[in-house]
């Protein structure tokens, strides 16, 4: 009986937790994302169309490895009102049983996208199409049409675009070059130059240009473009579609020639066109890329990698390859990056990597969030969200002014040594020289608090965040003494090897307690330090991991201090309240998102 009651209670608890989860608007990139039938959403390399208040997600409907019934292959469609709960609408496009059709089972359908044509009132789907048994040689694009958004779409044909016509922006002199591919060593400088000068455009002029990874984009005036990796994946082509979106007009533009871009995902924001792409490494992720243009057809300017994670995360775009950028309905300037984390041995199991697009100096960037809330706007740096405001958080730095900080000795913010750049408070190297910056402290004092600070240290840097700083101690002679959350490049700064058993390393309580669980994002990457003080109890956190925990003002604390370099400071770390300090140790370090809440 007792057992039954326990089991029932557990089931009830499970249901409560489950229903709570259902009500939340949480996106969990990389996890299984169940659809209305409880199956992982099978729409890969896809895109989303917003129509009459509903989102429709189209993507590759891949078969699990064990699947024998290849006739179920095609383009999956799912619908949703809230971007979280997705109803399986079945296959929008399905391979045909007809073995004479290009669309027979065994062909490859990738990166399908759907747009709505206002003139014909029809939904038009384009996709990358490879023929049965031919690997990726055919490099075709297929088109299908439907009066209903969810389909079924009627397959029209597959083709190589723009046969017999030159790109609008290929310089005249390149049209008559006679360089031959076989004469050049693949990948050599000469070969790359020849590619940039239209080697493959000339080769494919008569039969049509190659079309592999693709997306569609409807410009402000309703003109639609089919954007595809062409020229052996070396150059993107932006090909204008006819008014009904079912064919090519023959006007097309080469973009980033020789740039070797795949997985294009475009959006328009802040008066500019932006495009995420990837490099060409098959199913393996590579460093993401970003480009910007004033006009859709160019010129496109590369802006580097849009990822803001650790070096390793940036190298693989958080384990994803771009597929689409979704403008969020009803939220101006709000976009979501959609990517695929491919599982080549079972493509159906590939995961969806959805991340909010954030802005850094008017450039879109992406950060990794293991989970994030769709209903919470993405908060720019040095700004509090409404949730944080409700929770009592206060900013100690607004990204522009230093009103809440002053030199620990002079009580005036230093004129040199520290600067504000790109929303960060930065110590310049060499600032410790006479007349330089010096340590800065808060104008206010704090007793029980949670402090969070993002910091980015330069190679070999040394700095620190101190708390319980008493600037008046010993008539100001001890103005910079306090408990210190150590900031250090452990790999290169010799101080990491000093002290006892690592108690001077990053996230330690300097010279007193060595840190545990250190996850260091490395030099020139942002890290987050958190210090929590509640009465005698103190904790240090680094990048979400607890590194140090201690109680002060206890016999054990005094014992610890008595063996450290602070042994001669009477009552070290025991003042009930004190200022916070950012250390100027003469090496470059940046701080931002400095937030505190008291309790
Ligand atoms: C990378 C492309 O982006 C994918 O869509 C797919 O075609 C793979 N290559 C195949 O290796």
Instruction: Kindly list the domain boundaries of the chain, sorted by start residue.
Output: 26-161+210-373, 383-598
pLDDT for res 23: 44
**Which of 93-102, 267-276, 470-479 comes out lowest in average pLDDT?**
470-479
- Return the ligand 1 atom nearest residue 321 CA: 3
Q: Kindly write down the DSSP assignment for every residue of 215-284, as one continuous string.
A: EEEE-TTS-EEEEEEETTTTEEEEEEEPTTSSSEEEEEEEESTT---EEEEEEEETTEEEEEEE---TTS
Question: How far, in whole angstroms, is CA 487 from its chain's centroid?
Answer: 26
Report whether residue 60 contacts ligand 1, using a CB cutoff of 6 Å: no
Cβ–Cβ < 8 Å for 27, 371: yes
Among 130, 140, 262, 281, residue to substitute to test ligand 1 (most atoms within 8 Å of Cβ): 262
89 in contact with ligand 1, CB cutoff 6 A: no
Write out pLDDT tens, residues 28-39: 999 999 999 999
379 vs 406 pLDDT, higher one: 406
Residue bearing tokens 């045909």:
96
Residue with tokens 């002029």: 205
Q: Render pLDDT for 414-444 as a digit per residue (tens, 0 to 9).
A: 999 999 998 899 998 877 766 678 999 999 9
CATH architecture of the domain with residue range 383-598: Sandwich (2.60)
Q: Decide whether any atom of ligand 1 lies within 6 Å of the 228 Cβ.
A: no
Extract the tokens encoding 560.
């610890």
DSSP-derived 3-state class of residue 436: coil
Average pLDDT over residues 251-276: 97
Q: What is the model's pLDDT at position 11?
A: 41
Q: How many CB atoms lie within 10 A of CB 230?
A: 30
- Pick from 90, 191, 85, 102: nearest CA to 142: 102
The single residue listed with the structure tokens 């916070």 is 580
> In this model, does residue 9 exceed pLDDT 70?
no
62 C-beta closer than 6 A to ligand 1: no
How confident is the model at residue 271, as a pLDDT? Answer: 93
Per DSSP bridges, beta strands 418-421 and 527-534 are unpaired
Average pLDDT over residues 553-557: 97
The tokens 């929770």 sit on which residue?
391
- Residue nearest (by alpha carbon) to ligand 1 atom 1: 282
Fold of 26-161+210-373: Tachylectin-2; Chain A (2.115.10)
Torsions phi, psi for 49 (to 5 deg): -115, 130
pTM of this structure: 0.70
Position 368 pLDDT exceeds 60 = yes
pLDDT digits (tens, 9 = 90+) for 192-216: 999 999 999 999 999 999 999 999 9
In the chain, the N- to C-terminal Cα span, in Å, equals: 46
Confidence of residue 378 (pLDDT cuts 50, 70, 90): low
The answer to whether 577 and 447 are in contact (CB under 8 A) is yes
More confident site: 341 or 522: 341
pLDDT score at 24: 54
Residues in the chain: 599
Q: Give the Å distance between the CA of 291 and the centre of ligand 1.
A: 20
Q: What is the pLDDT of residues 61-108, one digit of tens each?
A: 999 988 888 888 999 999 999 999 999 999 999 999 899 999 999 999
pLDDT averaged over every residue in the chain = 92
Q: What is the largest CA-CA distance in the chain?
A: 93
CA–CA dist 560, 554 (Å, integer): 10
Q: Is the pLDDT of residue 222 over 90?
A: yes
Q: Pocket of ligand 1, candidates 47, 212, 320: which has the most ligand atoms within 8 Å of its Cβ, to mutate? A: 212
Pocket lining: 110 vs ligand 1, CB cutoff 6 Å? yes
The string of pLDDT tens digits covering residues 309-334 is 888 999 999 999 999 999 987 666 78
């Amino acid at each position: 009986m007792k057992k039954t009651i326990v089991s029932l209670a557990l089931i009830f608890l499970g249901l409560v937790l489950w229903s709570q989860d259902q009500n939340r608007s949480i996106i969990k990139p990389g996890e299984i994302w169940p659809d209305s039938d409880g199956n992982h959403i099978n729409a890969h390399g896809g895109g989303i169309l917003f129509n009459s208040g509903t989102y429709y997600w189209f993507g590759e409907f891949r078969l699990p490895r064990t699947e024998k019934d290849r006739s179920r292959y095609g383009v999956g469609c799912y619908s949703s009102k809230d971007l979280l709960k997705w109803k399986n609408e079945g296959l929008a496009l399905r391979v045909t049983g007809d073995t004479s059709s290009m669309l027979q089972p065994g062909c490859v359908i990738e990166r399908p996208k759907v747009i709505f044509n206002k003139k014909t009132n029809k939904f038009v789907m384009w996709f990358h199409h490879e023929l049965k048994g031919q690997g990726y040689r055919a490099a075709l694009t297929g088109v299908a049409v439907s009066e209903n958004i969810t389909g079924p779409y009627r397959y029209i044909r597959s083709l190589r675009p723009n046969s017999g016509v030159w790109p609008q922006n290929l310089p005249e002199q390149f049209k008559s070059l006679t360089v031959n591919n076989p004469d050049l060593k693949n990948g050599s400088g000469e070969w790359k130059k020849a590619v940039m000068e239209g080697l493959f455009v000339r080769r494919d002029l008569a039969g049509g240009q190659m079309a592999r990874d693709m997306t569609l984009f409807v410009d402000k005036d309703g003109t639609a473009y089919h954007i595809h990796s062409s020229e052996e994946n070396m150059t993107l082509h932006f090909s204008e579609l006819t008014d009904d979106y079912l064919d090519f007009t023959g006007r097309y533009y080469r973009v980033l020639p020789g740039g070797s871009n795949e997985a294009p995902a475009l959006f328009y924001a802040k008066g500019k066109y932006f495009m995420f792409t990837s490099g060409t490494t098959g199913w393996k992720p590579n460093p993401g890329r970003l480009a910007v243009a004033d006009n859709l057809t160019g010129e496109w300017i590369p802006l580097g990698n849009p990822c803001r994670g650790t070096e390793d995360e940036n190298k693989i775009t958080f384990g994803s390859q771009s597929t689409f950028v979704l403008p969020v309905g009803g939220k101006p300037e709000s976009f979501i990056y959609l990517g695929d984390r491919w599982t080549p041995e079972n493509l159906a199991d590939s995961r969806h990597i959805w991340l909010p697009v954030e802005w850094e100096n008017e450039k879109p960037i992406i950060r990794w969030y293991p989970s994030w809330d769709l209903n919470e706007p993405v908060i720019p740096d040095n700004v509090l969200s409404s949730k944080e405001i409700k929770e009592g958080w206060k900013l100690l730095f607004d990204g522009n002014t230093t009103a809440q900080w002053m030199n620990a000795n002079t009580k005036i913010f230093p004129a040199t040594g520290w600067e504000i750049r790109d929303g960060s408070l930065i110590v310049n190297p060499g600032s410790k020289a006479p007349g330089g910056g010096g340590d800065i402290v808060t104008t206010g004092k704090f007793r029980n608090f949670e402090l969070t600070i993002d910091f980015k240290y330069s190679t070999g840097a040394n700095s620190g965040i101190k708390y319980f700083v008493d600037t008046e101690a010993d008539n100001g002679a001890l103005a910079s003494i306090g408990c210190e959350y150590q900031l250090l490049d452990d790999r290169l700064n010799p101080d990491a090897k000093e002290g006892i058993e690592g108690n001077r390393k990053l996230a330690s309580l300097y010279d007193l307690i060595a840190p545990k669980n250190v996850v260091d994002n490395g030099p020139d990457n942002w890290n987050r330090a958190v210090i929590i003080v509640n009465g005698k109890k103190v904790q240090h956190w680094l990048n979400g991991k607890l590194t140090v925990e201690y109680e002060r003002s206890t016999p054990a604390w005094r014992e610890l201090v008595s063996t450290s370099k602070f042994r001669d400071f009477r009552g070290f770390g025991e003042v009930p309240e004190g200022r916070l300090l950012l250390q100027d140790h003469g090496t470059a370090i940046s701080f931002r998102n400095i937030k505190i809440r008291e309790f």
